[in-house]
Amino acid sequence: PRGDPPKGTHAAMSDTIQTSVLARLSTDLAEAVETAGAATVTVNARRRLPATGIVWSADGLVVTANHVVERDDELSVGLADGR
């Protein structure tokens, strides 16, 4: 038919759209990992193996699982930049 695009055009357009969507998803995921990584900390407790936590607020509140800190009063937190 006269109004149809050349054969294979739909597949090429579909491939281009998929590549664009995947590239955007990859970029967004990389940004999310970078942002989350900056807020992730190591929580060290005297009686347990190191665990992770998240910096929840600018004043330094760290959120971690209860079992990481229960019955332990000697805790330290390591930041992603090594401090």
pTM, two decimal places? 0.57
Write down the pLDDT at residue 5: 60
In order of 55, 62, 64, 75, 79, the CA distances from 58 in angstroms are 8, 10, 16, 19, 13
How much is the pLDDT for 15? 75
What single string gives the DSSP state of each residue in 11-64?
HHHHHHHHHHHHHHHHHHHHHHHHHHHHHEEEEEETTS--EEEEE-STT--EE-
How many other β-carbons are positioned within 10 Å of the β-carbon of residue 26? 10
Tens of pLDDT along 5-59?
666 566 666 778 778 889 899 999 999 998 888 889 999 988 888 899 999 998 9
With cut-offs at 50, 70 and 90, classify the pLDDT of residue 4.
low
